[in-house]
């Protein structure tokens, strides 16, 4: 099973609105990362938040991390049609034989209508 | 451009055949990851190498194997191919692995007919 689970699976909004995606994970993490993928293309790293951080900003992106609830959220403000893509959270497994394994959730498909 | 190069971009082959996918990581990156992405399975972690050594293994089939060479490029070998192996295969690299972001190649689209 996947380490990270995104919610919702799909999100459809109008340009200018904010988009919020959530991610839950199962085991202890060192950091949590968010990636974006345009259809059929490679993933692009958006932001990394460490386990001792609670919030991080990058341009129109805001990421929060709640390690007590094992969850994170990605907020895209003032969305644009160009933000249409799939968004994935990713975590790295610590410990055991899979140390360093970077695993992804199933992703949220975001559609921003002009 | 992420700096990660994957070849070939597209590959069409018949069932039962063997193919090799190649990945050149970003200059200076020691860690290489391989992923399989299909519509029904999402992005599945296959295997990770760090500086030539296998570091982590995911749901990689016994028909699949990989290695990382001294010049840090990596190859993923897929043998006895089945229709269900049709997917996008991504390679990613990172400087170290644990606290750093991963950079993805554009992928190899494998179609098994």
Output the six-digit token pair for A9.
Answer: 């699976």
Distances (CA, A) of B81 to B20, B22, B77: 11, 17, 10
Which of B58, B101, B109 has its CB closest to that of A45? Answer: B101
Which of A43, A101, A106 has its CB closest to that of B104? Answer: A43
SS3 track for A55-91? EEEECCEEEEEECCCCEEEEEECCCCHHHCEEEEEEE
- For position A21, what pLDDT does the model report? 97
Mean pLDDT calculated for residue range A2-22: 90
- For position B55, what pLDDT does the model report? 87
pLDDT in tens, A58-85: 999 999 999 999 999 999 999 999 999 9
User: Which residue would you say has higher pLDDT here, A45 or A30?
Assistant: A45
- For position B78, what pLDDT does the model report? 98
Angle among Cα B9, B60, A73 to the nearest 5 degrees reads 80
- For position B81, what pLDDT does the model report? 98
Confidence bin at A29 (pLDDT 50/70/90) = confident
Interatomic CA distance for residues B85 and B51, integer angstroms: 28
- For position A54, what pLDDT does the model report? 97
What's the whole-number average pLDDT of chain A? 90
Coil/strand/helix, residue A19: strand
- For position A28, what pLDDT does the model report? 82
- For position A47, what pLDDT does the model report? 95
| Residues shown for chain A | 114
Interatomic CA distance for residues B6 and B64, integer angstroms: 17
- For position A1, what pLDDT does the model report? 43
Does residue A85 have a cis bond before it (omega within 30 degrees)?
no
User: Is A106 in CB contact (< 8 Å) with chain B?
Assistant: yes
Q: What is the mean pLDDT of each run of 10 residues along chain B (113 residues)?
A: 95 98 95 91 89 89 96 97 96 80 95 97
**Cβ neighbours of B46 in A, within 8 Å:** none
Best of B7, B24, B45 to substitute, by most chain A Cβ atoms within 10 angstroms, is B45
pLDDT in tens, A94-108: 665 556 678 898 999
DSSP string of B39-73?
TTTEEEEEEEEETTEEEEE-S--TTEEEEE-TTS-
């Amino acid at each position: 099973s996947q380490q990270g689970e995104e919610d919702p699976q799909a999100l459809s909004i109008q340009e200018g609105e904010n988009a919020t995606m959530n991610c839950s994970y199962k085991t202890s993490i060192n950091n949590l990362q968010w990636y974006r993928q345009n259809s059929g293309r490679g993933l692009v790293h958006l932001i990394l938040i460490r386990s001792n951080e609670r919030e991080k900003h990058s341009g129109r992106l805001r990421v929060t991390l709640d390690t007590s609830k094992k969850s994170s959220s990605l907020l895209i403000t003032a969305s644009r049609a160009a933000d249409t893509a799939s968004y994935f959270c990713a975590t790295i497994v610590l410990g055991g034989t899979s140390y360093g394994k970077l695993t992804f959730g199933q992703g949220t498909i975001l559609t921003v209508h002009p | 451009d992420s700096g990660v190069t994957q070849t070939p971009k597209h590959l069409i082959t018949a069932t039962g055949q063997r193919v090799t996918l190649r990945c050149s990581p970003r200059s200076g990156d020691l860690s290489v990851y391989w992923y399989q992405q299909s519509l029904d399975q999402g992005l599945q972690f296959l295997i990770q190498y760090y500086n030539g050594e296998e570091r982590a293994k995911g749901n990689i089939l016994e028909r699949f194997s990989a290695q990382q060479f001294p010049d840090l490029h990596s190859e993923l070998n897929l043998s006895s191919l089945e229709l269900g192996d049709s997917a996008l295969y991504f390679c990613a690299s990172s400087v170290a692995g644990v606290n750093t972001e991963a950079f993805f190649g554009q992928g190899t689209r494998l179609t098994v007919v």
